[in-house]
């Protein structure tokens, strides 16, 4: 039976460490602040944004949400971002994705000051991360997965990591981080056009799944002893539960647990770690802005 990798518990430890660092900054007169821009009223996005700002406040940081109407124009959204870019009390800016179709999300992400881009989605940060420059903000989900592997003593050197999915937000930065000196993994990325997915996933020493499809990975598709990281966040109807739904990942947890060495649950795995790394990036942004003012 697989060991559970508990993202909630790792997050609790990391957030306690960070609360201490926030207190130290506050003693210097700096309160780290995150502003989240939410366009429209998608219930899942509203829930994620609320948990991000709540996590900020629990650490003694400022968490602010700017909720803009679904039909906001590109110019109005840019003006809001300009204002946050210029506000010295705002250290981190996050524009919640996905955006409505009429808004060009790449141009929007490029409009954020790269020094406040705590998501790490601005091309400058993506490029810095790609070349291994420590000044980059690392996207929160990849950073959270690396931190989990490190803290759970999962070796990566020379191991075959198979990543299912090719997203800009998770898979591409994660592949580049895992193959870099340090982690030293051998990395394969598969995606919707990869024939015979199982022939790849069965080779994985570490299998990372970031697609958004319930039960994509079943027990027959993994090698005994594999470490499985499930990035999926899928809602399934559950009329008996308080919210009317429950969260599941992309992996058939019960089946794959029979053969895996370790596995991250959903909820309580990668999700909380993503939020923890967002807090870490906001703290880093606040520290760097303090340093910039002293030089």
Ligand X SMILES: Nc1nc(=O)c2c([nH]1)NC[C@@H]1CN(c3ccc(C(=O)N[C@@H](CCC(=O)O)C(=O)O)cc3)C=[N+]21
Q: What whole-number distance in Å separates Cα of residue 50 and Cα of residue 46? A: 6
Angle at 205 between CA 6 and CA 187, to 5 degrees: 105
Among 94, 136, 174, 256, which residue interacts with ligand X (rule: CB under 6 A)? 94
Kindly identify the residues of this chain, within the stretch 217-246, that bind ligand X according to CB under 6 A.
Answer: 233
- The one catalytic residue among 115, 117, 119, 252: 119
Among 35, 171, 201, 274, which residue interacts with ligand X (rule: CB under 6 A)? 274
Beta bridge partners of 230: 209
Angle at 141 between CA 140 and CA 144, to 5 degrees: 85
47-55, 142-150, 158-166, 194-202 -> range binding ligand X (CB under 6 A): 47-55
194 by Cβ neighbours in 10 Å (0-12 / 13-18 / 19+) ranks as middle
**Does 126 participate in binding ligand X (rule CB under 6 A)?**
no
In the complex, the smallest distance separating the C-beta of residue 81 from ligand X, rounded to whole angstroms, is 13
Query: Is 165 labelled a binding residue?
Result: yes
Task: Report which residue's Cβ sits closest to ligand X.
Answer: 271
**Does 173 participate in binding ligand X (rule CB under 6 A)?**
no
In the complex, the smallest distance separating the C-beta of residue 135 from ligand X, rounded to whole angstroms, is 20
User: What's the half-sphere exposure (Cβ side, CA atoms, 13 Å) at 21?
Assistant: 16
- The one catalytic residue among 52, 233, 250, 284: 52
28 catalytic residue (yes or no) = no
The total of other beta-carbon atoms located within 10 Å of residue 89's CB is: 13
**Does 107 participate in binding ligand X (rule CB under 6 A)?**
no
Query: Is 135 labelled a binding residue?
Result: no
**Does 10 participate in binding ligand X (rule CB under 6 A)?**
no
* H-helix or E-strand spanning residue 4: strand 3-4
Going by their DSSP bridges, the two strands 92-95 and 33-39 should be labelled as parallel
100-108, 152-160, 185-193, 271-279 -> range binding ligand X (CB under 6 A): 271-279
189 by Cβ neighbours in 10 Å (0-12 / 13-18 / 19+) ranks as middle
**Does 100 participate in binding ligand X (rule CB under 6 A)?**
no
Q: State whether the Cα torsion 188-259-227-269 is positive or negative.
A: positive
116 catalytic residue (yes or no) = no
In the complex, the smallest distance separating the C-beta of residue 24 from ligand X, rounded to whole angstroms, is 26
119 catalytic residue (yes or no) = yes
The nearer residue to ligand X, 89 or 236, going by C-beta atoms, is 236
Alpha carbon separation from 161 to 31, 146, 165, 172, 254 (Å, rounded):
39, 12, 13, 13, 22
**Does 268 participate in binding ligand X (rule CB under 6 A)?**
yes
**Does 128 participate in binding ligand X (rule CB under 6 A)?**
no
Q: What whole-number distance in Å separates Cα of residue 287 and Cα of residue 278? A: 14
Residues that bind ligand X (CB under 6 A): 47-48, 51, 94-97, 119, 140, 233, 247, 266-268, 271-272, 274-275
Give the annotated binding-site residues: 165-167
Which residues form the catalytic set? 52, 96, 119
């Amino acid at each position: 039976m697989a060991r559970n990798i508990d993202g909630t518990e790792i997050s609790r430890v990391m957030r306690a460490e960070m609360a201490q660092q926030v207190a130290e900054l506050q003693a210097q007169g700096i309160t780290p602040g995150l502003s989240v821009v939410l366009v429209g009223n998608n219930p899942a996005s509203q829930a994620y944004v609320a948990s991000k700002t709540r996590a900020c406040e629990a650490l003694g940081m400022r968490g602010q949400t700017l909720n803009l109407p679904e039909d906001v124009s590109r110019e109005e959204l840019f003006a809001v971002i300009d204002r946050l870019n210029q506000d010295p009390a705002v250290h981190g800016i996050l524009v919640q994705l996905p955006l409505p179709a009429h808004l060009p999300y790449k141009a929007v992400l490029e409009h954020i000051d790269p020094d406040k881009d705590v998501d790490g989605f601005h091309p400058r940060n993506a490029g810095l991360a790609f070349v291994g420059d420590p000044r980059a903000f690392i996207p929160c989900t990849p950073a959270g997965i690396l931190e989990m592997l490190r803290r759970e003593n999962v070796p990566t050197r020379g191991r075959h990591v198979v990543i299912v999915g090719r997203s800009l937000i998770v898979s591409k930065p994660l592949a580049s981080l895992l193959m870099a000196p340090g982690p030293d993994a051998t990395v394969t990325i598969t995606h919707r056009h990869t024939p015979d997915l199982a022939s790849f996933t069965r080779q994985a020493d570490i299998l990372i799944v970031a697609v958004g499809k319930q039960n994509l990975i079943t027990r027959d598709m993994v090698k005994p002893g594999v470490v499985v990281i499930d990035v999926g966040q899928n809602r399934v109807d559950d009329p008996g539960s308080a919210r009317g739904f429950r969260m599941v990942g992309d992996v058939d947890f019960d089946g794959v647990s029979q053969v895996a060495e370790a596995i991250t649950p959903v909820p309580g795995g990668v999700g909380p770690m993503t939020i923890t790394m967002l807090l870490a990036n906001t703290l880093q942004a606040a520290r760097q802005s303090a340093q910039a003012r002293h030089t």
